[in-house]
Chain A
Amino acid sequence: MSILILVFAIPLAGALVLALMGHRPQARNVNVILSLGTLLAAALLTAKIIAEGPLFALDRQFFIDPLNVFLVTLTAFVGFTTSVFSQPYMRVEEDHGKMTPNRMRLYFSMYQLFNFTMLLALTTNNMGILWVAMEAATLTTVLLVSIYRTPASLEAAWKYFILCGVGIAQALFGTILLYMAAERVIGNGADALLWTNLDAVKTQLNPSVMALAFVFLLVGYGTKVGLVPLHNWLPDAHAEGPTPISAVLSGLLLNVALYAVIRCKVLTDGALANRFAGDLMVGFGLLSVVAAAFFLSRQKDVKRMFSYSSIEHMGLMTFAFGMGGPIANFAGLLHMTVHSLIKSAIFFSVGHAAQKAGTQIMDNIRGLIKVSPTVGWGLMLGSLAILGMPPFGVFASEFLILTSAMRQLPWATPFLLLGLGVAFAAIFSRVQPMVFGETTVKPLAHPPTLLPVFVHLGLGLMLGFYIPPYLNNWYMQAARIIGG
């Protein structure tokens, strides 16, 4: 329990410390150290869960089970590597005059607060607090997306705030309906919204209330997952915000929102005892995969292209979890892990590439491999990995999703293949000249930090052919919890 408190206390206190500290050169290092502390606490927590099983804390308000424990560690891990990446990156941005000292203070403080809200959303047992944490995550990232204060970034942040605000308001209505259904079974009071209590009585929850609640919850949290047609904010927010934020938005926040949907699906499945929730998710997921692939092929901005790729992958995961069953759930969870790792690695490389070229327009970024081979290889390998080339982990999870789709929903397989194929052609044909073309990029004053890129890619590669037994065990247990 004390470890769990550390997991929140470090980023929360960190936000305060960094806000008070103001802009000093050390702030960048403090940010890294705090994120490392969070990661260590999360790792200790995970070790404890592996040893002792699910854990309740603070009067059952917090609950760690196999479904969220690996997401906590993943969030803390990517949060840490992104802070390492953002150290030199933001320094360059400051040198270019894009950041002022005050904005740097805001950036570091909000970065920690954002990590805090995600960890809170993942570990809370209370569906109401889950909502509060998701909304708080929106608020902190709105400030981060608009940090450059350019017209485009303001527009992106405004759109993000309004769309996700409306979306999340729908989720609140869903939560109210959920509470209404729970109240009839569990009775009034704070405990009626605890997920574990709801899970225990899920077969007795009123089906028609739960069906309506799930529609609102899926639309609400689905807006944050970036499911088509609710995805409009996502490419703008990813493209206009600072690159470290694009990495954590794509790699982490979308996962957290999908995690909220999954928790709701488990309850709805129990109450309805039919495939209603799963079918809705399959529909949204499939539409996202196909639509995102076509949108993606028309992009000129490299960050926009990869943010559409995130929509596509979130669609794939939503499809997998909607389909349900042990293998599809396992594949969905594996895909969640590898997508986080690989997509953030890509954004790291893209960030450096865009800084070197001074633009995010793909036609103007050429020949990375000559000026800085590591950035070039990072981008190339990352793109190959995200496109599902073996032996990277994405291949394994996509293969599993496709094979279970062939068995359970054969009609959906051609659509999935179409989406993946279009995305492959588009991304590969764009990335190839960026890496190998005639050079236009120039070296930077500060050396980039590419260690996170290759650590992420290495882990993604490892998960392609070897999943450690305890991780495998986790996935299986989590897949059982999701059921369906």
Chain B
Amino acid sequence: MTALITQLINLFAAMILMLAFAMLAQRRILSLIHLFALQGLAVVGATTVVAYVTDQHHLYYSAALTLALKVFFIPWLLHRLINRLNVRWDIETLINIPSTMLIGIVLVVFAFNLALPIAELSTSISRGTLGIALACVLLSFMMMITRSKAVPQVIGFLAMENALVFAATSATHGMPMIVEFGIALDVLVGVFILGVFMFQIREQFDSLDIRHLESLKED
């Protein structure tokens, strides 16, 4: 039974990592949103399994919260946003896709090495997953760096939040409930603010290209 459960969690972890890579390589914003929603779903799956195994009820709430927020609400909001702003494509990445993937692989190796001594200590059933969570954080981070448009940067930011939720679930069986609620609230408010922001950026620059936002430089 435990072996099966461990495998199940590892499966979800692998899915989250694969989806992080897929998002790194994806250039269509619409597909990016779908991948993000799928990643949220994988996080929900992992959280539910851990909740079932450890019999921690608050993890069910955490899973429900992630489901509502990251799988349905935020993707829906982003959908509306890109329709209203009429941006479906994000052609330009600052580094080409194959190089991005290679750097991504290096990041994964690095993350695993970093997490290895700590994962050994983890008493939880999902000790291998901390490395994956850290790798996903770094991959999302990289996605934010290499994209030059506002919407993919935001999705990168949200994917990072996904990875952190997964890290919290797998390493510690979830943070205390009040903290999780606080984090969810911050993410929600942050997304709203970013949405408002995007309209303002568009109003000012007629585009969502962040490279317009490079006039403030050190001279």
Q: Which residues of A contact B (CB under 8 A)?
A: 126, 128-129, 131-132, 135-136, 139, 142-143, 146, 149-152, 154-159, 161-162, 165-166, 169, 172-173, 175-177, 179-180, 183-184, 188-190, 192-193, 206, 208-209, 212, 236, 239-240, 295, 298, 300
**Stretch touching chain A among B3-11, B42-50, B100-108, B184-192:** B184-192
Q: Is the CB of B141 within 8 A of A173?
A: no
Instruction: Say whether B204 contacts A154, CB under 8 Å.
Output: yes
Contact A132 B183 (CB under 8 A): yes
Bound CA–CA A173/B150 (angstroms): 24
Contact A126 B186 (CB under 8 A): no
User: Across the two chains, which residue of chain B brings its CB closest to A136?
Assistant: B186
**Contact A193-B175, Cβ < 8 Å, known A165-B190, A173-B164:** yes
Q: Report A-chain residues with C-beta under 8 Å of the C-beta of B214.
A: 155
Report how far A206 CA is from B119 CA in the complex, Å.
12
Residue of A nearest to B56 (CB): A188
Q: Which residues of B contact A136 (CB under 8 A)?
A: 186, 189
Given A131-B179, A162-B144, A190-B177: A206 touches B121 (CB 8 Å cut-off): yes
Q: Which residues of A contact B137 (CB under 8 A)?
A: 169, 173
Shortest B86–chain A CB gap in Å is 20
Would B197 and A169 count as touching, CB distance under 8 A? no
Asked if B178 and A128 make an inter-chain contact with CB atoms under 8 angstroms apart, the answer reads yes
Expressed in whole angstroms, the Cα–Cα distance for A132 and B177 within the complex equals 13
Top 10 A-B pairs ranked by shortest CB distance?
A128-B179, A132-B182, A190-B176, A155-B213, A135-B186, A180-B172, A236-B216, A176-B168, A180-B171, A151-B204
A152 lies within 8 A of B190 (CB): no
Least CB distance, B187 to chain A, in whole angstroms: 9
Distance A295 CA – B218 CA, assembled complex (angstroms) = 8
Contact across chains for A169 and B179 when beta carbons are under 8 A apart? no
Please give, as numbers and ranges, the residues of chain A lying within 8 Å of B173 by CB-CB distance: 183, 188
| Docked complex Cα distance between A175 and B182 (Å) | 14
Give chain A residues whose Cβ lies under 8 Å from the Cβ of B98.
none
Q: A192 vs B177: C-alpha distance in the bound complex, in angstroms?
A: 12
What is the bound-complex CA distance between A206 and B123, given in angstroms?
A: 13
Chain A residues in 8 Å Cβ range of B122: 180
Q: Chain A contacts of B157 at CB under 8 A?
A: 162, 165-166, 169
Q: Is residue B194 within 8 Å, beta carbon to beta carbon, of the partner chain?
A: yes
Closest A residue by C-beta to B216: A236
29 contacts between A and B (CB under 8 A): A128-B175, A128-B176, A128-B179, A131-B179, A132-B185, A135-B190, A152-B215, A154-B201, A154-B213, A155-B215, A158-B210, A161-B197, A166-B157, A169-B161, A173-B164, A176-B164, A176-B171, A177-B118, A177-B171, A179-B168, A179-B175, A180-B122, A180-B171, A180-B172, A188-B173, A190-B176, A192-B176, A206-B121, A208-B121
